[in-house]
Amino acid sequence: MTYLLDTNAWLHWFHRPAEMSAAARQMLNGERTVALSPMSIVEVAQKHHKGRLGLPVPLDQWVRQSLPAGRVRLLPLTAEIALRAYQWPDDFHGDPADRIIAATAVLHRLTLVTSDEKLIARPDVTTLSTR
């Protein structure tokens, strides 16, 4: 396992994979296991609750279907990750979820699959762009 999906990459994988970059699709279409932060589940639940994300099935069912056994490994959210998320300067990223997801990737030495330009621009976060 060498990749961590951010929330948008996870959503695109299941809703709009054709909109992802060829490199991201190739990685996801392989037999590789990818990682996910629990913060991505929080973000999806929040978007759904606020009516900004329609899902074809109830949220809990969608989450279970979107964590296929053997393909997605849910990583723990630890105190070390939470602390690392705020060791970056204030201009790193304003979204706490993105900070936690990036810290998870860095501490686990994973490549973050993302379309977030702020994260892609960071030299200390290894990324694979979905754009």
Q: Where is average pLDDT lowest: 26-30, 33-37, 42-46, 84-88?
A: 26-30
Domain residues for the domain of 60 are: 3-129
Mean pLDDT of 57-64: 96
Task: Give per-residue pLDDT as tens, 112-130.
Answer: 999 999 999 999 999 999 9
* Distance separating alpha carbons of residues 73 and 70, to the nearest angstrom: 7
- Find the CATH number of the domain harbouring 23: 3.40.50.1010
Q: What is the pLDDT of residues 22-34, one digit of tens each?
A: 999 999 998 689 9
pLDDT in the model for residue 102? 99
As a whole number, the mean pLDDT across the chain is: 96
**Tokens at residue 99, please?**
């900070």
- Relative to beta strand 111-114, strand 72-74 is unpaired
Residue 68: burial class (beta carbons within 10 Å; 0-12, 13-18, 19+): exposed
Q: How many CA atoms lie within 13 A of 5 on its CB side?
A: 28
Is the confidence at residue 87, as pLDDT, over 70?
yes
**CA 59 from centre of chain:** 17
C-alpha 123/C-alpha 5 separation (Å) is 18
Task: Give the integer Cα–Cα distance in Å for 95 and 62.
Answer: 24
pLDDT score, position 30: 86
Domain count within the chain: 1
Question: For position 31, what pLDDT does the model report?
Answer: 67
